[in-house]
Chains A and B, each alone.
Chain A
Amino acid sequence: MADTVIEFKSVNKWFGKAHVLRDITLAVKAGEVVVVCGPSGSGKSTLIRCVNALEPIQGGELVVLGESLTRPGVNLSALRARVGMVFQSFNLFPHMTVLENIMLAPVRVRGLSEADASRVARALLERVRIPDKAENYPATLSGGQQQRVAIARALAMQPKIMLFDEPTSALDPEMINEVLDVMTDLARDGMTMMVVTHEMGFARRVAHRMVFVDGGRVVEEAPPEQFFAAAKSERAREFLSKILSH
Chain B
Amino acid sequence: MASAMTMTQKILARRAGKESVKAGELITAKLDLVLGNDITSPLAIKEFEKIGVSKVFDREKIALVPDHFCPNKDIKSAQQAKDVREFAKKYGIKNYFEVGQMGIEHALIPEKGLVTAGDVVIGADSHTCTYGALGAFSTGIGSTDMATGMAAGELWFKVPDAIKVVLKEKPQKYVSGKDVILHLIGLIGVDGARYMSLEFSGEGVASLSMDDRFTIANMAIEAGAKNGIFPVDDKTMEYINAHSNKPYEVFEADADAPYAQTVEINLSTLDYTVACPHLPSNTKTVKDIGEVKLDQVVIGSCTNGRIEDLRVAAKIMKGKKIAPGLRCIVFPATQNIYLQAMEEGLLKTMVEFGAAVSTPTCGPCLGGHMGILAAGERCLATTNRNFIGRMGHTESEVYLASPAVAAASAITGKISAPEEVEK
**Are these two chains actual partners, yes or no?**
no
**Chain B residues at the A interface, C-beta cutoff of 8 Å:** none
